[in-house]
Amino acid sequence: MQGYEPVAEIGVGAYGTVYKARDLRSGRFVALKNVRVTATENGLPLSTVREVALLKRLEHFDHPNIVR
């Protein structure tokens, strides 16, 4: 979370924890998701791959509430 100052924990879910944080460059508040990854001998769990793929698809939307 380099470049961000965590302010508060927003919530915890099955895939990770979401934090309210301040962007140190712009001063704007953002939401940061820390995804829990439990690597196995077979690689990453499919649920983790799905979560990251979904977040990557969201970056294409032009909306102020979606993080790039």
| Per-residue pLDDT at 68 exceeds 70 | no
CATH number at residue 47: 3.30.200.20
Does 33 belong to an annotated binding site? yes
> Is-contact 6 14, C-beta < 8 A?
no
With the C-alpha atoms ordered 25, 65, 63, 60, is the resulting torsion angle positive or negative? positive
Is position 16 within any domain? Answer: yes
pLDDT per position as a tens digit, 9-60: 999 988 789 999 999 999 999 888 888 787 778 888 888 888 788 878 887 8
Name the more confident of 29 and 61.
Answer: 29
Helix (H), strand (E), coil (C) string for 22-52: EECCCCCEEEEEEECCCCECCECCHHHHHHH
Is position 65 within any domain? Answer: no
- Asked whether the whole model's pTM tops 0.75, one would answer no
